[in-house]
Amino acid sequence: MGVDTDVLIVGDGPVGQTLAILMARQGWQVTVVDRWPEPYTLSRAVAFDSEAARILASLGLAEYIAQETEPSGRYVWQNADGKILLDIQGSPRGWCHWPDSNSMFQPGLESALTARGRQLPTLRVLRGHEAVEATDHGSHVELTCVSRAGERRVLSARWLVGCDGANSFVRECIGTTMHDLGFSRDWLICDVVLREPRVFDPNNLQICDPARPRTAASAGPGHRRWEFMRLKGEPVEELDTVESAWRLLKTFELTPENATLLRHAVYTFQSRWADRWRSGRMLIAGDAAHVMPPFAGQGMCSGIRDATNLAWKLGLVLRGQADAGVLDTYVAERVRHVQHAIRMSVDLGKVICQLDPVAAADRDVAMMAARERGVGTGAPQAPVHPLRTGLLRHSGAPAGRGLAGSLSPQGRVRRGAETGLFDDVVGTGFILLSKEDPRPFLDARAENFLKELDIRVMTVVPDGATTAGTDAVTDLDGTYLPYLDGADARAVLIRPDHYVFGQVMTDQDYVALFDDLRQQLSAAVPAR
């Protein structure tokens, strides 16, 4: 039976948009359906990290990041008396070149993603279509949608991915249970535009006051967000009013005379993930698969990672270059990542959301003592960690220094007459980055495999060295050679999602590296 599209995505938010662009850019026919006729015009997420910025830039949004976002900058926690408990200075140049954290107004991001999607001829978006029924026929999936006018439409696709939020329809079709850490609180969000210039130092402030925990944060150029935790016994309907919003905002010297309140809403954060992310030809990503407290800023970032991890693996499966079981490595890799991010967010939230004055005082003493010892200053702790399981090769790496599963860095390079960021100059996809010409160490089968997967070979040389040809890049910032030297690696194979598949330390490792990848891609893994 013929199908309407290769990949059908439910949900046109940032995660669904990222996945759609990544798949359409590979040439696949992609259809996105969303129940709402128009995008939501107010912000939910307010920041994304260096890795998410790298992904968005690779989609063609570098200009958007440069012009419509700003580095989040300093993040300070204070107690009720204004004493500093934690002082974190985010770097304007993170691991992936972009700032550690970038503040943004989410509708602007979605608008930029929509504009990019319109440039891709194989991508179509059907808004105002609610998914109501999905059936996996083994060879394809059928999805029934209902328009706002009540018209039913049946779409068919080779794969269906639910990026449809915390109340996901596709997750219901998969039929998974949820693992819930049981940490949930209500907060009043107030999104504000100031009518007069004001400098905020720190740019992001967390007030750990047991009388009312509260937050002040950048929400992108021209936008600010204030949040106030709901107290025990406080009715939601009383907190969620314009009058309550202005009463609380007044504590930050905000009034209707000097600010515009774009919206106020009480939201409930949760801390849980789906136990099952895939069933046959149906998968989930983003909030459909996991939700977390906002305190590590990893909700949307985690969803963008989901989309990036899934896109290249799904592309290999669609091209017949990998067994469908490879998609189970998407689940294995991403669930470990989000579990770490969720637990970290919960740990932060339990500190911030403390309402017991005695426990809060003990917390303050402990955190200020730690600060005096130098703990709680400097760069932020990473909310993500290296991949430990999945589509990786760990063999042959030095104990504790292996690069497999780590996120590769990004710096500026020169290739011929072109200078720029590595992803812009070299591109994305599978890349063998080596300190030497690896071809003398490859056999015919490895050479053929390079061509089959379009694995680009790049030799990296120090700044000042003489380079020849288009297969060499100069390490202008000293990013790549120290990275390789730190693990005694002669080369690394970087996956399309920027994570390292494995490294080379001996002559024989070159062939073994590609043999291992070939076997893992072709291995039949039972579907879950």
> Of 115, 124, 133, nearest to 31 (Cα)?
124
Residue type at position 310: L
Percentage of residues of the chain with pLDDT beyond 90: 90
- Count other Cβ atoms within 10 Å, centred on residue 202: 20
Backbone angle region of 471, left / alpha / beta, with phi > 0 → left and psi within -120 to 50 → alpha: alpha
- Count other Cβ atoms within 10 Å, centred on residue 180: 12
Per CATH, the architecture of 412-522 is what? 3-Layer(aba) Sandwich (3.40)
pLDDT tens digits, residue range 216-270?
999 999 999 999 999 999 999 999 999 999 999 999 999 999 999 999 999 999 9
pLDDT of residue 43: 85
Residue appearing with tokens 């073994």: 512
- In angstroms, the CA 28 to CA 107 distance is 26
Instruction: Decide which of 3.40.50.12280, 3.30.9.10, 3.30.465.10, 3.30.300.30 is the CATH code for 70-103+185-269+355-383.
Output: 3.30.9.10
pLDDT tens digits, residue range 148-190?
999 999 999 999 999 999 999 999 999 999 999 999 999 999 9
Positive or negative: CA dihedral 45, 49, 52, 54: positive
Residues 6+ apart with CB under 8 A from 21: 59, 113, 116, 117, 120, 123
- In angstroms, the CA 394 to CA 372 distance is 40
pLDDT of residue 376: 58
- In angstroms, the CA 371 to CA 87 distance is 9
As given in the structure block, the two tokens for residue 96 are 């992936």
pLDDT tens digits, residue range 9-64?
999 999 999 999 999 999 999 999 999 999 988 889 999 999 999 999 999 999 99
Q: Is the pLDDT of residue 377 over 60?
A: no
Which class would CATH give 5-68+104-178+277-333?
A: alpha beta
As given in the structure block, the two tokens for residue 249 are 């905002």
pLDDT of residue 90: 87
pLDDT of residue 527: 37
SS (H, E, C) 186-225: EEEEEEEEECCCCCCCCCEEEEECCCCCEEEEECCCCCEE
Percentage of residues of the chain with pLDDT beyond 70: 95
Q: What is the mean pLDDT of residues 294-313?
A: 96
70 phi, psi to nearest 5 deg = -145, 150
Q: Is the pLDDT of residue 328 over 90?
A: yes
pLDDT of residue 470: 75
Residue type at position 3: V
Kindly list the distances between the CA atom of residue 95 and the CA atoms of 133, 416, 481, 510, in Å, as whole numbers in the listed order: 42, 25, 15, 27
Residues 6+ apart with CB under 8 A from 428: 58, 496, 498
Q: Would you place residue 469 in the very low, low, confident or very high pLDDT band (cuts 50, 70, 90)?
A: low
Asked if 503 and 402 touch (Cβ cutoff 8 Å), the reply is: yes
Q: Is the pTM of this model over 0.85?
A: yes
pLDDT of residue 150: 95
pLDDT of residue 396: 61
pLDDT of residue 292: 97
Asked if 367 and 375 touch (Cβ cutoff 8 Å), the reply is: no
Domain map (residue ranges) of the chain: 5-68+104-178+277-333, 70-103+185-269+355-383, 412-522
Radius of gyration of the chain (CA): 24
pLDDT of residue 480: 97
pLDDT of residue 404: 95
Orientation of helix 299-318 relative to helix 14-25, angle to 10°? 30
Give the chain's mean pLDDT. Answer: 94
Q: Is the pLDDT of residue 401 over 80?
A: no
Positive or negative: CA dihedral 71, 77, 78, 84: negative
Asked if 57 and 98 touch (Cβ cutoff 8 Å), the reply is: yes
Q: Is the pLDDT of residue 383 over 70?
A: no
Residues 6+ apart with CB under 8 A from 439: 447, 457
Q: Would you place residue 528 in the very low, low, confident or very high pLDDT band (cuts 50, 70, 90)?
A: very low
- In angstroms, the CA 527 to CA 423 distance is 33
